[in-house]
Amino acid sequence: MRLLILAILLAAGGWSAYWFVGARALEGALRDAIERARGNGVEVEVASLDVTGFPNRFDTIIEEPRVRLDSGIGWSAPFLQVFALSYRPNQLIAAFPHEQSLSGPLGSAEITTDDARASMTLTPSANLALDHANLVIEDLRIASEGLSLTAARVLAASRIPEGAEDGRVQNIGVTLDDVTLPPTLAGQLGLEGMATLDGATLDATVTLAEPIDRDTIEGEPVDIRQIDISRLDIDWGDFGLNAAGSVVVGADGALTGEVEATLTNWQHAVDIAVAAGLIPRNRTEQVRQALQFVAGDADRLELPLNFRDGRVYLGPIPLGEAPRL
C-alpha cells in the first residue's frame, strides 16, 4: 500500500511538473512568435496573454488581440481563447467572441456571430505544419458603413489528402448557407426579390509553395501554386452555377487554366454580370447573341471559363482582367 501511495504521489508530482513546464514553454513560444511576427512586418498587440487549465488542459487566454498586416488588413477582438489537452498539445480548439472588427483599404466592418469556433491539428514536427482544420460560424453578420451582409452558416475545412507527402497540398471545403446581400448592392445587380443566395459549396485541392506552419502564423506569406476545383455549386434563386477545372498560379499571381462552367438561366447571369461590371454595357448585346448561338433554345449553357494572358474568357467572349492571387 505504501508503495502504491508513493507511486501515485510521484506520478502526480511528475504530471504537475510536466504541466507547469509545458505551460511556461507554451507561453514563451507564443510571445516569441509575436516578436517574430513583428519582425516580419505584422503589427501584433495584446493586452495580456496567460496560459491556465491545470492539470489536464493548456488554455491560452489572449485579451484584446489586435493584428494588422503590411497589406493594410487588420483584425481585432475583445479576446481570443485557444484550448488544448495537455496530453494532446498539437490538437487545438479556438473560441471567438461574438463581436470582432475587420479593417482594410476598402474600409472597416463589424462582425457579429452567434457562435464561431475553429479547431486544428498540427503535425508533430519542428515547424508544426497544419494537418487538418475546420471552422464553424453560426448566424454571421457583417456591417460596414450602412451596408450589411448575413449568412446563416459558414463551414470551412481543410486536410492533407491521402498520399500527399506533406502539408503543401490541402483539400479545401467551404459551404455557405442563406447569404443575404445588402439591399443596395442587390438592387444595383438587378437582384430584387433574390437578394439571398440559397447556398454555395466549394470542394477543391490547393497546392502551396510551402506548408502552412508556424512560419505562416509569424507572418510569412503563403503562395498558391495550383487550384484544382472538383466542385463549385451556387444555388441562387432561378440562377445556378456548377463548375469544375484547374488553374495554375504564376509567379506574378496570374492565372492560367480552364474551368468548365454550367449556367442555369444564363440570360439572368448575363444581366448580373453586366450590372457587376464584368461585361461592358456596350458589349451586352454582342455577348448575349454569342451565348444564344451556343445555347440555342436551351436555358442551360455549358462553356469553358478560360484564364490566359492575365484575362478571363467565357468561351470565346472576353470578360476582362482576371484576378491575381
Instruction: Say what the pTM is.
Output: 0.84
pLDDT tens across 293-319, in order? 777 777 888 888 899 988 888 777 777
Strand partners, 138: 115, 153
134 phi-psi bin (left φ>0, alpha ψ -120 to 50, beta other):
beta
The band of 133, judged by pLDDT with boundaries at 50, 70 and 90, is very high
Q: Which of 23-27, 155-159, 167-171, 317-321 has the highest mean pLDDT?
A: 155-159
Instruction: Quickly state the pLDDT bin for 231 (edges 50, 70, 90).
Output: very high
- Asked if residue 62 has pLDDT above 90, the reply is yes
Residue 250 lies inside a defined structural domain of this protein: no
Burial of 6 (0-12, 13-18, 19+ CB in 10 A): exposed
Beta strands in the chain (DSSP E): 43-45, 48-52, 57-63, 66-68, 74-76, 79-85, 88-95, 99-104, 107-112, 115-122, 130-144, 147-159, 169-180, 196-208, 224-236, 239-249, 255-264, 300-308, 311-314, 317-321
Contact of 262 with 300, CB cutoff 8 Å: yes
User: Can you tell me the distance from the alpha carbon of 271 to that of 194, in angstroms, rounded to the nearest whole number?
Assistant: 13
pLDDT tens by residue, 185-202: 676 666 666 678 889 999
Does residue 26 sit within a domain?
yes
Give pLDDT, residue 34: 85
pLDDT for 8 equals 58
Using the predicted structure, report yes or no on whether residue 19 has a pLDDT greater than 70: no
- Does 283 map to a domain? no
Cα separation values, 103 from 106, 109, 244, Å: 8, 6, 33
- pLDDT of 260 reads 93
Q: How confident is the model at residue 9 (pLDDT cuts 50, 70, 90)?
A: low
| Mean pLDDT of the region 25-51 | 85
Q: How many domains does the structure of the chain reveal?
A: 1
Residue 119 lies in a domain: no
Asked whether residue 66 carries a pLDDT value surpassing 90, the answer given is yes
Q: Is residue 208 part of a domain?
A: no
pLDDT digits (tens, 9 = 90+) for 245-295: 999 998 888 899 999 988 888 887 777 777 777 777 777 888 888 778 777
pLDDT at 258: 94
What is the chain's mean pLDDT, rounded? 84
Distances (CA, A) of 15 to 20, 89, 163, 310: 9, 14, 37, 58
d(CA 82, CA 23): 13
Question: Average of pLDDT values for 158-164?
Answer: 86
Helix, strand and coil percent figures for the chain, each rounded to 5: 20, 50, 30
User: Cβ distance 52 to 59 under 8 Å?
Assistant: yes
Fill in the DSSP letter of residue 322: P
Split at pLDDT 50, 70, 90, the class of 72 is confident
The reply to whether 107 falls in a domain is yes
Domain range spanning residue 58? 1-111
Is 174 a residue whose pLDDT tops 90?
yes
Q: Which residue has the higher pLDDT, 47 or 72?
A: 47
Q: CA 11, CA 155: separation in Å to the nearest integer?
A: 42
Q: How far is CA 74 from the centre of its chain?
A: 15
Q: How many residues does the chain have?
A: 325
Contacts of 206 (CB under 8 A, 6+ apart): 169, 170, 172, 224, 226, 227, 228
CA-CA distance, 6 to 59, in Å (whole number)?
Answer: 30
Q: Are strands 74-76 and 66-68 parallel, antiparallel or unpaired?
A: antiparallel
Asked if the structure places residue 140 within a domain, the reply is: no
- Residue 271: what pLDDT? 77
pLDDT on residue 171: 94
**Does residue 14 form part of some domain?**
yes
Position 5 scores a pLDDT of 61
Task: Give the pLDDT score at 15.
Answer: 54
